[in-house]
Amino acid sequence: MPELPEVETTLRGLVPLLKGRRLETVEVRIKQLRFPFPKNFAKRLTDATVTGFSRRAKYMLLALDSDETLLVHLGMSGRLVKADPASPLNKHDHVVITTDKGVQLRYHDPRRFGFMDLFATAARDDHKLLRDIGPEPLDADFSPAHLQTALRGKTAPIKNLLLDQKIVAGLGNIYVSEALFGAGVRPTRAGGKVTKAELERLVPAIQTVLQASIKAGGTSMRDYVQASGEMGHFQNEFAVYGREAGPCPTCETPVKRLVQGGRASFYCPTCQR
């Protein structure tokens, strides 16, 4: 599910609920998610106070006063949502955290592709899952020149390469289709053959679609909701994603769907070359 905008909106929603709060109870209700929980996970979190919030690619990072950092990945179907502590637990509510103010957060993930980790904050830059990630697309150092270097000589389709978190952080299947539409680049183009002029359109196209989605609270299609429980509504603004045979918003040509690397891509055959 969640790509950069959904992770970012979740994180922003967590700040007012968790900032400066001590985690009073932590209950892990499943043996493992995608990976086993770290040793003594619940015990190490209990009584820690949350001091900082950041995001890297699709990872949420919560800094604790215990000098450890909680890493959360939502996988395909994960969500982290405030809940009434009195309401019954769902079978997919895998981790339940209650703060010293009585606020309860539930990590819910039917497909269990998500996971959590807990590690020394000082070792963050060496973390295996974080160290090879490419630039954040909303940061100043994300540029056409970076993409040009990263894509040089690549024969794989640009669609697949933009999903590679080492090339650019945080994009997933929805926003790659939307960004390539915004840039007028066909998803099948070999990465190394995308021109400088096209990359100069692609960078702002990526930034525009991500920022618009964050503003809309992300995309809620199946599982995703914000930390508050509210839905996002960027799904109402898709230009091409999920709109096979529908009219291109620019030229009204029917949108095409194809499968690349086992995943659907959507594009306008007229506007994207």
Looking at the annotation, which residues are catalytic? 2-3, 58, 263
Instruction: Give how many residues touch DNA by CB under 7 A.
Output: 41
Helices (H), 63-195: 144-151, 158-163, 173-183
Q: Which position among 15, 30, 129, 258 is part of the footprint of DNA (CB under 7 A)?
A: 129
If one asks whether residue 258 binds DNA (CB under 7 A), the answer comes out as no
If one asks whether residue 9 binds DNA (CB under 7 A), the answer comes out as no
Return the bridge partners of 21, or none. none
CB of 2: closest distance to DNA in angstroms? 5
> What is the rounded CA–CA span in Å between residue 139 and residue 80?
25
CB of 9: closest distance to DNA in angstroms? 10
If one asks whether residue 75 binds DNA (CB under 7 A), the answer comes out as yes
DSSP type of residue 142: -
The phi and psi torsions of 146 (rounded to 5 degrees) equal: -60, -45
> What is the rounded CA–CA span in Å between residue 51 and residue 64?
5
If one asks whether residue 236 binds DNA (CB under 7 A), the answer comes out as no
End-to-end CA distance of the chain: 28
Q: Which position among 12, 22, 154, 201 is part of the footprint of DNA (CB under 7 A)?
A: 154
> What is the rounded CA–CA span in Å between residue 159 and residue 172?
10
Tell me which residues touch DNA (CB under 7 A). 1-3, 6, 34, 57-58, 73, 75-77, 91-92, 110-113, 129, 154-157, 160-161, 163, 165, 172-174, 191, 218-224, 261-264
